[in-house]
Amino acid sequence: KAGVTQTPRYLIKTRGQQVTLSCSPISGHRSVSWYQQTPGQGLQFLFEYFSETQRNKGNFPGRFSGRQFSNSRSEMNVSTLELGDSALYLCASSPRLATPYEQYFGPGTRLTVT
């Protein structure tokens, strides 16, 4: 079974632009979560989607948004990019919401904002 895939793997954007990152979960998994990883703040939860609905949201500004499609693939969007948005963005999938199953992480998208 293929693992979680994230595209693109690397991205360079300019301040003020917007960006869309994609995450394809493991086949059969219906829950997708997103995390931001920075040297200063560590790993922080962004949001979680299940059955095309956002089920949980972290403490991030409204510039960060996401969605999930009927095939469980998820996208996250960051508008009006700031230098502080430079980070590794990780997504993780799990079979269902709020289950004892662990989450499987993708390789991440490295976003650099200049």
Partner 1 sequence: AQTVTQSQPEMSVQEAETVTLSCTYDTSESDYYLFWYKQPPSRQMILVIRQEAYKQQNATENRFSVNFQKAAKSFSLKISDSQLGDAAMYFCAYRSRARNQGGKLIFGQGTELSVKP
Kindly list the residues in this chain that would bind partner 1 in the complex (CB under 8 A). 31, 33, 35, 42-45, 48, 50, 55-56, 58, 88, 90, 92, 94, 97-100, 102-108, 110
Q: Which is nearer to partner 1, 30 or 79 (CB)?
A: 30
Q: Going by C-beta distance under 8 Å and a sequence separation of 6 or more, which residues neighbour residue 98?
A: none
- Please state the closest distance from residue 28 (CB atom) to partner 1, in A: 15
Output 31 or 113, the one with its CB closest to partner 1: 31
* E strand spans, 1-114: 5-7, 10-13, 19-24, 31-38, 42-50, 53-57, 64-68, 74-78, 87-94, 104-105, 109-113
User: Looking at beta carbons only, is 12 or 98 nearer to partner 1?
Assistant: 98
